[in-house]
Amino acid sequence: MTYLVTGGAGFIGSSVARRLIADGNIVYIIDNLKTGYLDNIPEGAVFINGDFSQDEVIDRLEGRRFDAIFHIGGQSSGEISFEEPEYDLNTNTLSTLKLLKYCVKRGCNRFIYASTMSVYGEDGVKEQFSEDDATNPKSFYAVGKLASEKYMDIFHREFGIDFVSLRYFNVYGVGQNLENLKQGMVSIYLKQFFDKSFKKVEVKGSLDRFRDLIYIDDVTDITITSAHNSRFNNQIINIGTGVKTTVREILDLIKLYTDSKKEIIVTSGTKGDQFGIYANNSKLKSIYKKELTPFNIGLKKMIDWIEEK
Ligand SMILES: NC(=O)c1ccc[n+]([C@@H]2O[C@H](COP(=O)([O-])OP(=O)(O)OC[C@H]3O[C@@H](n4cnc5c(N)ncnc54)[C@H](O)[C@@H]3O)[C@@H](O)[C@H]2O)c1
């Protein structure tokens, strides 16, 4: 099979591309290396270095027909979406529209999209969200992701393109970019605990905030499975563990595993940040039967990886 993986130099995209290649598939990658790294691109992938929201970059695919497109690349920080809203819109939404048009033109019938839990926003009361709950984006990032979901829905109805929208919750694990201090709660804290140039660990926002933390290997397996299992067809699906973990619990576990005594300081939160959200993952569990990695196990793997680097 031949696949296109956008964002294949990034955390999730490179993991998906690596697995696809290991399974004997041909993989094309488009990535502009904005937050990704050349070193992440798996051996054997055909790499197109460029912005996937630009026609001239998509043209470099030379009309190839893909068995599926995994549109995983994107601008993944709510904070940056306020700093660079046009870039966010082009990267997360215009690119989706252009790649869907490519699917129609080139007869590629399956589109897997990296959406986000951020589309739910928050209402101050509800903590656990299911796919049927109302969406209420609080950042430009979330607006763009939600718009992409709507484009996919219309392309399905009008042109028969099958889609899967994976609403990832907080993905963490081995291979995550520790240098990006604007995205990825676990990686941001680990960076500050491990890097000696950080005298203290700064937490932007309350320690009572909470998240649903899902390990990269589970996300990779679910993402690839969703391209083959017809029960994922034309579904929006929460990709979370259904377990609520507070920032305080994350920090306590890191301290326990690293034996660190670093001081933690709490500063004001970032714009558009959700206080707390976790997944109702019944829909995922009804179609994906494998066990998901508990946070303590995944975190330990990540810490071991950092210590070995
Ligand atoms: N990591 C998470 O917890 C999380 C949660 C929810 C949703 N997501 C979504 O999953 C996707 C992957 O996230 P990630 O954690 O791997 O992020 P990442 O930053 O590691 O990877 C994104 C990749 O996309 C590339 N990219 C960005 N803009 C591009 C453009 N215009 N043209 C070409 N390449 C471009 C980057 O260079 C990078 O390699 C993103 O779309 C993100 O919104 C991630």
- pLDDT score, position 122: 84
Cα(104) to centroid of ligand 1, in Å?
A: 24
pLDDT tens readout for residues 126-185: 999 999 999 999 999 999 999 999 999 999 999 999 999 999 999 999 999 999 888 889
Nearest to 18 by CA among 186, 175, 169, 239: 175
pLDDT of residue 79: 86
Please, which residues have CB within 8 angstroms of residue 111's CB and are 6 or more apart in sequence? 68, 69, 71, 99, 100, 103, 152, 155, 161, 162, 163, 164
What residues line ligand 1, using a CB cutoff of 6 Å?
7, 9-13, 30-36, 51-53, 72-76, 91, 114, 116, 168, 170-171, 177, 184
Q: What is the pLDDT of residue 273?
A: 78
pLDDT of residue 82: 94
With a cut of 70, which residues of the chain have pLDDT below it?
Answer: none
Chain center to CA of 42: 18
- Residue ranges of domains in the chain, CATH in brackets: 2-171+214-239 (3.40.50.720), 173-212+243-308 (3.90.25.10)
Which DSSP letter does residue 183 get?
S
Question: What is the CA(176)–ligand 1 centre distance, in A?
Answer: 11
**So what's the pLDDT on residue 182?**
83
Distance 301 CA to ligand 1 centre (A): 22
Structure tokens that stand for 51 in this block: 């912005």
